[in-house]
Amino acid sequence: MTHPALPQLLRPRALEPGDLIVVAALSGPLDARYAPDLERAVAEIERMGFRVRLAPLLEAGRHRWWSAARPDEIAKELNGLLRDTEVRAIVAHDGGQTVFGYLDLIDFDAIRADPKPILGYSDISLLHLVLYARTGLVGFHADLATPGLGGHWQRASAARREELGKLYSTLLTGTEPIGALPAGPSWECWRAGRAEGPLIGGVINRIVLAQATPFALPLECFDGAVLFWEELGGQASYVWSYLQILRHSGILDRISGMVVGVPEAIDGLDSPDGSPSLAEIVLDVLGDRDIPVLGNVEVGHAGANLPMPVGIRAALDAEQRTLSLLEPAVRPHAMTGPLG
């Protein structure tokens, strides 16, 4: 059996002020109730200095089952955006349950020819993992447009919104490393230690399920990686099972550190009947693996997100509660061709 080669890191070209960012329905539909949130998201992106366009499938009330459209229709629109040289970045409107339906329809050659940032989390984290596995593309595990930029951001303090706006803008335009991400009061050291390696991760159920497909990341991608993950909904026992699958697959033996997002709406955590905390579940499965674990970081469904660029080297010090990006996520504008 042949295994896919390890991807060479593929950084998108740095954005410039006035560049076009398209918000697209890459998974779930836009409920008409949340159209004002989408408008607020567009305003946030414009405030960062970019032009914004909405992709045609992103139309309030349009849906097919739980999706914005059929998987082949979404793939066609995505591929069009990937091939359009005027489009410099794509922000997913929301997550959902559709990306698995079009993994085999993505134009990977278009990504290699003109890599561009794709932003989102939840179901979109599956897209980041697969595109990284197939092309080496740096995926921007960051806030979705409608529930994130237009939702969680609006409920944050003005100072936090400004901080996040500058952070996202710098990540998309800057060719120097970001350095330390702004730590929050929720961050906890679950196991002390330091680690340095490429960021790999997403919502944990998508990480596990992706590895069961032909689009799986080669296990070598996890060598020395800082694994970040989060989860929405379900049971605490499901999370324990997902972690056990990562153990059985050998992934937990390969990573150098772990960053765990704030859990959201997971039943059976910290309840009075003696249910475990998320930290206890993680440490139970890790056993005696001596890797640092930083918990309750803002990477996921629980609130405004810190960006986690997939494939970019990061430094983690769990005891000091620091997480730093050691490389830029984009390449200088003057460089041409599909270079890392």
Any idea which residues carry the catalytic annotation?
Answer: 122, 230, 301
Between CA 120 and CA 28 the distance in angstroms is 12
Strand partners, 189: 294
Name the DSSP class of 232: B
Task: State the chain's maximal CA–CA distance in angstroms.
Answer: 60
Residues 6+ apart with CB under 8 A from 283: 190, 191, 293
Task: Encode burial over 78-99: b for 16+ CB neighbours within 10 A, e otherwise.
Answer: bbbbbeeeebbbbbbbbbbebb
Question: Cα separation of 103 and 118, whole Å?
Answer: 15
Do 314 and 329 contact (CB within 8 A), yes or no? no
Paired residues of 258 in beta bridges: 227, 293
Q: Which H helix or E strand runs over 198?
A: strand 194-203
- The helix, strand and coil proportions of the chain, stated in percent and rounded to the nearest 5, come to 35, 20, 45
Give the residue from 326, 240, 251 showing the smallest Cα distance to 291.
251
Q: Which two tokens stand for residue 83?
A: 């091939």
Distance between CA 282 and CA 295 in Å, rounded?
10
